[in-house]
Structure 1
Amino acid sequence: MNWDCLIVDDEVELAKATCEYFEMFGLSCAVVTNSDDCVMFMENNQVKLILLDINLGNDSGFELCKALRKNTDVPILFISARQSDDDVLIALNIGGDDYIKKPYSLSVLLAKVKVIIKRYDGVGQKNRSSDEVSLQSDGPDRCGNLRIDKDAMKVYRNEEDVGFKTKEFKLFLYLYENKNRVIAKDELFAKIWGDAFFSDGTLNVHIRKIREKIEENPNQPQLIKTIWGIGYMFETQENQ
């Protein structure tokens, strides 16, 4: 069965209230309360977005996210009462797409979810075909010790696959194809995530992961430069 949203949260009343609110506005929504039920649900259903709590009784939302990321690129939004920056960074580093702190506004959460689902709606042949067209090339591009294979959605550093995830590759490619141009954060959110609802933390973590995979020294990046207060720029020589 196909669903718009799966809520994974052991706060049953809050999860059910959120689910009912979503359904009032036309979204199909399901609720599970633990990791095992989530894994089973995902094996038998298709979802467009997951809202995932960190504390799931005896289970960890962090560990569940890691397990899910082995098999799916479905957007995962963490929802948690935990407020520390460390928790936010962990969530984004392990594959979360955003972090929403409880208590949350149902109307704001709904708006965020609807925009993301619209972006990912029809993640079947229609969207895959669109991605394939946008990434098609006559052959691999080269930039220093990097080789970019758009058709395979891979980047090689010294001929070794750097292991980009889908979102990392798309962000890298957009920066690369607009090299030597300052790109505002809002433009990156719009082009890569499809909306402006994501936090700066989401973008910052993705940039850091990319730098760790392509830069000689990620702490002193030579390719992807931070333009403070604006955004980022892929800086390289014109003849590369």
Structure 2
Amino acid sequence: MKYRIMIIEDDISIAELLSSHIEKYGYESMIVDNFENVMLNYHEFQPHLVLIDINLPKYDGYVWCKEIRKISTCPIIFITAREGKMDQIMALENGADDYITKPFFYEIVIAKIKSHIRRCYGIYVTPIQERKIELNGLILYPERLEITFNKNKIILTKKEAILAEVFMKKYPNVVSREILLNKLWDDINFVEENTLNVNVTRLRKRLIELSIENAIEPVRGIGYRLNITWRNE
């Protein structure tokens, strides 16, 4: 298998040298060329590991690290000239796995890449049993972002899958808005009140695609409850 490494670095000379060195070791590399929407490149390339700088055009590396962490657990290594302790702390708190300061030895970068790939995809990976949550014929596979009912299957977004898991685990209890907000976002202080309603509505519409009507009902002043009125045929 050829592992894919994405390079998010605006110094093209450094990016090209990294790319050349990485490919010598049998990896496939891609240099990001869209710093206004890094996630577009991410979705197209689907990397196994990301190398990222802090100082980038438009948004800094911390922003893109957080965005990647919303959808992926792939290793993220910061490579930057910023040596401050707070920079390293912020990188790790925003989801990074490692931190390398410039100037660096390419051999160290390769060693770090090999180490993280072994840990995530290779011989050090601990086999785990895939989770499956079942409720009255409705089956959710959280890691696959997949939900099935009566042999019908749909793929959910990450936030839809998180909501579905909470509702199914808490059934038949009402789930408060506060619990749902904390599950979906790290900092609820910057989330608009209507944002949760929008996400719940989206999940309700997705369940309609499985022929499950009125699956989530609002409970005034508290939150929402999964309303199981269907039967597994």
Deviations 1:166-191 (A, max 9, x none): xxxxxxxxxxxxxxxxxxxxxxxxxx
Length-normalised TM-score, structure 2: 0.52
Structure 2 Cα separation of the partners of residues 67 and 76 of structure 1: 12
Counterpart for residue 14 of structure 2: 14
In the alignment, does 2:56 pair up with 1:56?
yes
Structure 2 Cα separation of the partners of residues 63 and 114 of structure 1: 25
The 8 Å contact of residues 8 and 53 in structure 2, kept in 1 or not, is answered as yes
Structure 2 Cα separation of the partners of residues 131 and 27 of structure 1: 26
In the alignment, does 2:71 pair up with 1:71?
yes
Structure 2 Cα separation of the partners of residues 9 and 84 of structure 1: 19
**1:56 partner SS:** coil
Counterpart for residue 119 of structure 2: 119
By how many angstroms is 1:109 displaced? 0.8
The 8 Å contact of residues 10 and 57 in structure 1, kept in 2 or not, is answered as yes
Counterpart for residue 97 of structure 2: 97
Say which is worse superposed, 2-11 or 49-58, in terms of deviation: 2-11
By how many angstroms is 1:120 displaced? 2.2
Within 5 Å, give how 1:183-194 maps onto structure 2: none
By how many angstroms is 1:36 displaced? 3.5
Pair 82,33 (structure 1): closer, same or farther in 2 beyond 3 Å: farther
The 8 Å contact of residues 4 and 47 in structure 1, kept in 2 or not, is answered as yes
Greater RCO, 1 or 2 (C-alpha within 8 Å, sep 6+): 1
Letter in 1 for 2:128: D
Structure 1 Cα separation of the partners of residues 36 and 118 of structure 2: 28
**Greater gyration radius:** 2
**1:79 partner SS:** strand
Counterpart for residue 237 of structure 1: none
Length-normalised TM-score, structure 1: 0.51
By how many angstroms is 1:37 displaced? 4.8
By how many angstroms is 1:115 displaced? 1.7
Structure 2 Cα separation of the partners of residues 89 and 72 of structure 1: 20
Structure 1 Cα separation of the partners of residues 117 and 35 of structure 2: 23
Counterpart for residue 39 of structure 1: 39
Counterpart for residue 132 of structure 1: 129
The 8 Å contact of residues 34 and 56 in structure 1, kept in 2 or not, is answered as no
Structure 2 Cα separation of the partners of residues 55 and 14 of structure 1: 13
Structure 2 Cα separation of the partners of residues 61 and 110 of structure 1: 20
Letter in 2 for 1:6: M
**Where does structure 1 lack aligned partners over 5 or more consecutive residues?**
136-153, 155-159, 164-240
By how many angstroms is 1:42 displaced? 1.6
By how many angstroms is 1:114 displaced? 1.2
**1:66 partner SS:** helix
Counterpart for residue 229 of structure 2: none
Structure 2 Cα separation of the partners of residues 22 and 105 of structure 1: 13
The 8 Å contact of residues 36 and 58 in structure 2, kept in 1 or not, is answered as no
By how many angstroms is 1:3 displaced? 4.6
Letter in 1 for 2:25: F
**Where does structure 2 lack aligned partners over 5 or more consecutive residues?**
132-164, 166-178, 184-233
Counterpart for residue 86 of structure 2: 86
Structure 2 Cα separation of the partners of residues 67 and 5 of structure 1: 17
Letter in 2 for 1:22: I
The 8 Å contact of residues 80 and 100 in structure 1, kept in 2 or not, is answered as yes
Pair 36,132 (structure 1): closer, same or farther in 2 beyond 3 Å: farther
Structure 1 Cα separation of the partners of residues 45 and 20 of structure 2: 19
Structure 2 Cα separation of the partners of residues 9 and 61 of structure 1: 9
By how many angstroms is 1:111 displaced? 0.9
Letter in 1 for 2:76: I
By how many angstroms is 1:55 displaced? 0.7
By how many angstroms is 1:35 displaced? 3.4
By how many angstroms is 1:118 displaced? 2.2
**1:47 partner SS:** coil
